[in-house]
Amino acid sequence: MLNVPPESDGREVVCVELWCIARGAQEVVRDGANSKMMGLALVAPGGAQSCVAWSNSLSFFCRSRAGGSQSVTYMDRQVNRMKTSKAQARVTTEPPRRLPDEAEGTTTPLPTGHVVLASADSDSYRSLRRRPMSRTERFKLGRSLRQQVPRTAMGDWKASANRPDPVEQIIRSHEGRLEWLIPIRVGRMVASPYGFLRGSAVVMAEDVAHLPATGITPVICGDAHLGNFGFYASPERDLVIDLNDFDEAHPGAWEWDLRRLAASIWVAGRLNGSSEAQCHAAVASCVAAYRREVRFLANEPLLSRSYNRLDIDRLHETATEKSLRGEIARAARRARSRTSDRALPRFTTQRDGRRYIVDEPPLITRVPEAETDRIAVALDEYLATLAPHWRRVLGGYTLIDIAHKVVGVGSVGLRAYVALLEGSSADDVVFLQLKQARRSVLARFVHGDSAWHAHQGQRVVEYQQALQTVSDPLLGWTTFDGLQYYVRQFRNMKGTIPLDAIDPAALTDYAGIVGHLLAKGHARTSGASMIAGYVGASDKLDASLCRFARAYADQTEADHQALVKAVARGLLPVERVAQGRGGIAIRP
């Protein structure tokens, strides 16, 4: 049993209670006789040793009148230290584990006090013998957080005097990347403010992590900009639309995702020629759709939330603008043609009776034979991460060729390979993609410096499966040359709606669709009732995030100009290489 320190007030107690529940407290009891809710009793997981760490964390939090993300992060670190002590007590005979270094790709011993999370699953979801807090109570908790973090505070943005230099952050993010590809990455970022925003998740993570937040932390995308939604094939070969990039996925504040999405809509709208009023309408549509969907799903059975999906037929019904429906139809036709067998003429050639992936330097390049052999071994190990049925299916194919292929903006410079596999006939082929996975840019704001997942590729896969209603059945992970990768199908009917081809009214319509999808992803993991209670039915949050999006769009344009000037001064190398039809400014 723990008591909240006497200097705390009722608002802080509610936040403490919420934080305890979110972190897996088995029981939280308020003293109903106390009008200020000053009495708080907690049964923490882990027994007496755990209670000491929780008590220290709660005491710190209640003394911190400012609340916010820094206090929550501090508490997380306290609990991580407690978890570390317990883990060390259980496994004192194991040799020290080693993980790839985040920047250089070399292996280094884990730091003292390191916490390895072997899976994306929380300890809170490993028992069926505990009755969770009711939806009504969780909704009330979320609503009460408005006292601690007013919804109007969500609109605040002003760069602090000690804000880290965005160009320096980008330069640091290049550590560990392939140097010969960095000029391409820079070229894609200087092309437009939207290209800059796509490649600067590390900059925005630093910014939003210090803004007001409720402390409700579902699994989030971590890079939920407008271009990271798109089409792909379900295991049943239906065409669905959902979040489709999870390199930065991690438990974190739901507000971080929504802020990034809102800002990206405003930046993209400006680039498309929309007026400020039209950008405002698009962002408001997005946030309103997020609110409506999370409130709807909070009242649905838990399994129903997990089944909810948006396929191409429902998407046509959801879209109200005729121009958007036309773009959806065209994008869907293109996506259905993006399959492995149809990629053969585009990506391969035949020599001496054997297929090879075509070189298109610097975007597609050959891999040395020795490296090819190591990747082949890694792909065999990847099979073990698949479900048994899919392992048997894919095990019937033979590896034919491997090439390095540049993808995206933020990922440029990280290792990314395409592998061609052939089945029982020459036209029975599968392209697999291996993408290097590094620590999420959000991780240090959630776990601090001492808590990593055991395998970053596994992190990406498990959080993708958590956020998407249906996922690629060939998602898996592997390791080679000391680096961690996730593996997926490369040509899996993937496609996007070309944002540079839709008018302002269609952008508003589409912004509502992606707001709906983001809410669905968050509600699938945890915290839906509390988020619903906080966001409410009014448009207060919509107005606040419109204010934030406009201010952060201004910031993005200023940061983009800073990068352009740095390139002009020779601080960063640049190579401007086109990224598909229509340029790189908008298209994912």
Q: What is the pLDDT of residues 204-259, one digit of tens each?
A: 999 999 999 999 999 999 999 999 999 999 999 999 999 999 999 999 999 999 99
pLDDT tops 60 at residue 455: yes
Candidates 359, 337, 457, 355; CA nearest to 405 is: 359
Q: What is the pLDDT of residue 69?
A: 42
Average pLDDT of span 557-571: 97
453 and 474, same domain (yes or no): yes
| Domain-embedded: residue 495 | no
Whether residue 105 lies inside any domain: the answer is: no
Same domain, 331 and 350: no
**Pair 175, 314 in one domain:** yes
**Within this chain, do residues 282 and 363 fall inside the same structural domain, yes or no?**
no
525 domain residue, yes or no? yes
% of the chain surpassing 70 pLDDT: 76
pLDDT per position as a tens digit, 381-426: 999 999 999 999 999 999 999 999 998 888 999 999 999 999 999 8
Any domain includes 584 = no
586 occurs within a structural domain = no
The verdict on residue 574 lying in a domain is no
Residue 546 pLDDT: 98
Residues 181 and 239 in one domain: yes
Alpha helices in 91-149 (DSSP H): 135-148
Q: In this predicted structure, which of 123-137, 317-331, 490-504 has the lowest mean pLDDT?
A: 123-137
What's the whole-model pTM score?
0.81
Neighbours of 558 (CB within 10 A): 12
Mean pLDDT, to the nearest integer, of 151-164?
96
Mean pLDDT of 30-54: 35
Tell me: do 376 and 440 sit in the same domain.
yes
Q: How many domains does the chain have?
A: 3
Burial 230-248 (b: 16+ CB within 10 A, else e): bbbbbeeeebbbbbbbbbb
Q: Where are the alpha helices (DSSP H) in 400-455?
A: 443-446
Claim to verify: residue 394 and residue 455 sit in the same structural domain: yes
In terms of residue numbers, what domain contains 14? 1-94
Q: Tell me, yes or no, whether 323 and 179 share the same domain.
A: yes
Q: Are residues 408 and 271 in the same domain?
A: no
Last residue of a domain, one of 457, 489, 521: 489
Considering the domain architecture, whether residues 271 and 228 belong to the same structural domain is answered as yes
